[in-house]
Amino acid sequence: WYSGLGLRYDEIYADYELYQKSCGTEEEKNSIKRLIGDYLEIKDFVNAEKWIRQLSEHYGDEDTEVQQYQGLWNEIQNCLEEIRRSINGKEHIVVNWVDALRYDELSNMEYLCRQVQSGINFERMYTPTPYTNAVMKALIAGKYIIDDKAFMMTQDDYKDGKLWKYLESHGYQFAISSPVFWKGSFYNSNCGIMQYSYEERAWVPSTVVQFDAICRLYEAKERCFYIIHNLGETHQPNSNPLTPTEKKWSGSDLLQLIQDRMGQIIQSQKYLDGQLQYYGRFYQDIRCNIYMSDHGFFRKEEPICIEGYHHVVFSICSKGVQGRNIQTMFSLVSFTELVEKILEGDLSGLNKIHDKDYVLIERDDVYGQGLCRSLKKDRRRVDLSFIQYRGIVTKEDSFVRLATGKEFYFRNDESENLRDDERYKERIDYLRSLAGNKYINIYKEKKYQEAVKLYQYKDWHVSEDIEFIE
């Protein structure tokens, strides 16, 4: 069982560099053995097997150490096969949550793209609030961060969420393996790493999380609704063991850092894709698999990145269900209703769950001390990315109003803010009425005391025209 941070990807890459330097020397064999150990420790069995083969090809099957590693690998394979046979055929539901994957970057992950397209693919799924913690609240409680005061929820409140209660009433145990969410009595996860900072936890390999999940599913005595949260490869720092990772992922110029590192970002997405394909075989024949992302991330200097942040991946792959595309506008707030349809065994009429031709989006102000300090330093970072806002997204356009009163109106490609274009005045007025005018009073809520300091530093001012939720 995994009980700490363990190896980081950059440490494995450092060992790979040592191997490259050792080629042709007496140290080469030890370098290969070290890499085998590295990959076994993080439960990356794909690359562990690759280096065991490398050892065999280089030193021959008659070598005593080669035979020992081959014997070890056979034992591991037998163990994994037992786990695979035990899980498949059960009535589990597995949700593979890929963090910070933009919808328009799904094509970088070939296996995941095939899985999404083979199922019921929600082409217009949007996250109500584009960061991880808020998305969990939307999934479990079906609540908006502002309108439903989900910003006040703690993890102790999750058991009262409608998804939790529904699963419990239908004989399903809620479980999650994640490097982010707290290990508590209701989280059946053994990734005991919460004593570390978020930035440190972001380095935890998804293979560790995947292995934790299949071991828990193997041990499960009842049906599980299991969320597997894959983080560090697709979220910053976008790390993987095959390319060097820039350790600094916040600070003076995050925008430039992301633009400079797009090659690594794509490489990390592809690495995770290969691991999803490997681990997918352990739960490919269960009641249902759901593939989703929670939010996106900006890739260029944009005033406010609605599509990039809010448009997410979501697909339901269930036994006996033919793949199809659903083009209706959808929100992750309706997640429980989708799960209800899965357990009812009726996946027809899914497009009727969300009966509006738009989705509501909301964001509260950034509140974490570390991030607020980072934004103060980041002179080029677009200020509007972390100000409280609410808005509406349709298939044709989008509207957002910030707590400062500034408004944005975009048509399709978001290339230009058309807020002051008289041709769209009536349309903007309509979308504004749908979006609503209620905001969180950050001067009253202690949670946002760092946001207040950020406002003061940036000389931002809350609009006098907005209303505060009670």
pLDDT in tens, 322-352: 899 999 999 999 999 999 999 999 898 898 8
pLDDT in tens, 173-183: 998 888 877 54
Rg (CA), the chain: 23
pLDDT in tens, 25-42: 999 999 999 999 999 999
Dihedral angle sign, alpha carbons of residues 44, 101, 323, 212: positive
Q: Report whether pLDDT(14) > 60.
A: yes
Q: What's the whole-number mean pLDDT along residues 314-319?
A: 94
Find where tokens 């044709």 sit.
Answer: 396
The per-residue pLDDT for 246 is: 61
Share of the chain above pLDDT 90, in %: 70
Q: What are the structure tokens assigned to 124, written together?
A: 């217009």
In the beta sheet, which residues pair with residue 97? Answer: 229, 292
- Which stretch of 60-74, 168-182, 429-443 has the lowest confidence by average pLDDT? 168-182
Q: What's the whole-number mean pLDDT along residues 52-65?
A: 97
CA 369 to chain centre: 22
Which pTM was predicted? 0.93
Task: Classify strands 467-468 and 438-439 as parallel, antiparallel or unpaired.
Answer: parallel
Q: What's the whole-number mean pLDDT along residues 397-403?
A: 96
In the beta sheet, which residues pair with residue 98? Answer: 230, 293
Q: Which residue would you say has higher pLDDT here, 176 or 48?
A: 48
Q: Report whether pLDDT(190) > 50.
A: no
DSSP assignment of 63-91 equals SHHHHHHHHHHHHHHHHHHHHHHHHTTS-
Q: How far is CA 433 from CA 126, 405, 412, in A?
A: 20, 14, 20
Q: Report whether pLDDT(435) > 70.
A: yes
Reported confidence tier of residue 159, pLDDT bands at 50, 70, 90: confident
The per-residue pLDDT for 158 is: 86
Q: What are the structure tokens assigned to 358, written together?
A: 């738009």
Q: Report whether pLDDT(2) > 60.
A: no
Share of the chain above pLDDT 70, in %: 88
CB 60 within 8 A of CB 70: no
- The helix-helix angle for 206-219 and 262-280 (nearest 10°) equals 20
Instruction: Please state whether the peptide bond connecting residue 237 to the residue before it is cis, i.e. omega within 30 degrees of 0.
Output: yes
The per-residue pLDDT for 199 is: 58
- Which stretch of 57-66, 152-161, 396-405 has the lowest confidence by average pLDDT? 152-161
Q: Which residue would you say has higher pLDDT here, 319 or 285?
A: 285
Q: Report whether pLDDT(379) > 70.
A: no
Reported confidence tier of residue 185, pLDDT bands at 50, 70, 90: very low
Q: How far is CA 431 from CA 391, 400, 408, in A?
A: 8, 9, 11
Q: Report whether pLDDT(21) > 90.
A: yes
The per-residue pLDDT for 188 is: 44
Q: Report whether pLDDT(233) > 70.
A: yes
